Structure 1
Amino acid sequence: MTKRKYDDVNEFLEDESFKNWVLQTNATDINFWEYWIANNPNKKDLVNTAKDLILGISFRKNTVSEEKVALEWQKLQAKIKAKEAKPKRKVILLRKLSIAASILLIVTTGLYFLNQNSKITHKTHYGEILKVKLQDGSDVTLNSNSSLSYYKNESRKVWLSGEAFFKVDKKKATNAKFWVVTQDLSIQVYGTAFNVNTKKKKTDVFLEEGDIWLSLKNGETKKMLPGNYISYSAKENRILEDKNIDNSSLKTSWKDGTLLFEALSLEKAMEKIKESYGYAVVFKDDKAKNTLITGAVPLTNIDICIEAIEKSVDVIIIKKDNSLIISKK
């Protein structure tokens, strides 16, 4: 982010961080610009103009400009008038003109269609959380090392790899469905809040509010009610867990930047740390694995996370290369 006053539209257009905010491609830039815009309401019109230009440029980059089409049309008309005295050549030229116009129309329409149906993907790195606002008004919070994809003109059907929390906007007028697709199942909703995790070669779904239907890969369907947690593996072709969870924060606290543990073994707690930060976990003492941990650790700062775990369960954690080495004090 460069130091500018942002008094001119071009200053926004030249700033890569601003483009990242418009295209929703970098969590740090998104957070910065949301804060900046909230604190600079007098620049709202400039921001909106620059945003429209970036989206417009992105949309039109593969199409033929109207000016170019008009110029070529004028050239062809001039050639036709110059050859009017020769009927046979006029017919041939008109035929060529017709073919050229048809090709231009097909190419332009095709590019427009591809643009309208282009796939949009949001990705996060380890230790990063991204909030995404879909075109239909639904909110998605994407956990670390995850990706969310959907087509530009159909944001009520998304594909998820990793973990995300969904708060789906209910379309009362049309009662339109919202779909989440994973490698194991499809989730059908109308308007509700739920968490989906696909990180362990299975799909875990926790329903916070509303109701949803699961369409499992084996052809079965399953209705979920608030508080219900279901874990399903297409590889094993079975439901691994089906239970109710009273404390929803145990499954959704990550969206607020923390991992919450409640009498969880250190071994299982470190599996969640591994998912969030990407570090391998090595236990030097097997006894430490069964130590129970209760508390919360941050999802976006590995050093503070390590310090909190060390104090909670009386262990030493050494960060070496891409590993976390754990031993008893």
Structure 2
Amino acid sequence: MNSDYKNFNPEDFCHDESFRNWVLNPDPPTELYWNEWISQNPASAGKIETARALLLALQEKAPALTDQELDDITQQILNPANNSTISFWQKPFFRIAATLAIIAGAGMLAFKLYTEKEKLAFFETISPNLTADYIETENTENRTQTITLQDSSVITLYPKSKIRYPIHFSPETREVYLEGQAFFNIAKNPKRPFWVYTNHISTQVLGTSFMVKAFENEKNVKVEVRTGRVSVYRHEDLQKAKRQQNNEMAGIILTPNQSIEYTVNEARLLKSISRQPEILVAKTPENFIFDEAPISKVFSQMERAYGIQIIYDEKNMKNCYLTATFTEESLYEKLNIICKVTHSSYEIVDAQIVIHSNGC
């Protein structure tokens, strides 16, 4: 392993054998090394992602490239102002460079789609369906805009947001590309999964309602599920699975009241609970009326109501009881009251509520 990785630029990473093996043919040792290196060197995350995306795109576009060809293409993409255009475009492999729009931006992991040509290239890398006849809608107003798709799915597009979708969906799938924030209410059709692509992640659904927030100038991308189930993938994981023809792609499953955030600086997905969890069952007055109720009963009813697992030491809290009436309090307000009464505390870990208590 090279000890000077901190000084590498994206081009250097593309030429490094260990890095290329990790991106194109990963094994446990390289996965361990590079994941640890990235976590210890977050300032290099942007260069890492640019190089990784470049290698994956080149792998998609060409069967084999020599080191010199790779060097020339990388230079053409990362330093377009310093390259001549006289003879480059006469060679087929240099046309690859024209289709790759992955540009490093101020140490951040971001796809900079500066021109329509570059944007089409990015769509082509993710999904060829998005390069067909399409409609692109941008919300320039100060209020949300409602869009109804041909399959009766409804999209609520937030201000300063843009969405791109085909005039006609393909027979196999329904795909859209989002820049900004939108709420999706998707018509159920198990035979035609619905995909939402953003600048860093892909979200697959069959029929559900959920929020996606992916502004290009923000460092994180967030998905929140209201109903149904969705699977969320990093683009590189999705592309790798497609190349390997792996039908069991490793997405992260989200259910109602769960969310996931893609942290750009670390290039990782973090699962959590939605900011405002909603009650999922029929609400009745007795749902949250407790009179000297064992804490196990309280937590059990909250789990059923919100669909969120609560982890606690049942033996340690066997003498904890609660007398309280909850009406319009949020989940977090309920938890704060319960923890105050039982002298406990809580934290959110991987979309679960973990209670810490020394007993009552």
Give the TM-score band, short-chain normalised. Answer: 0.3 to 0.5
Indicate the structure with greater strand content.
1
* Bigger Rg over Cα: 1
TM-score normalised according to structure 2 size: 0.34
TM-score normalised according to structure 1 size: 0.37
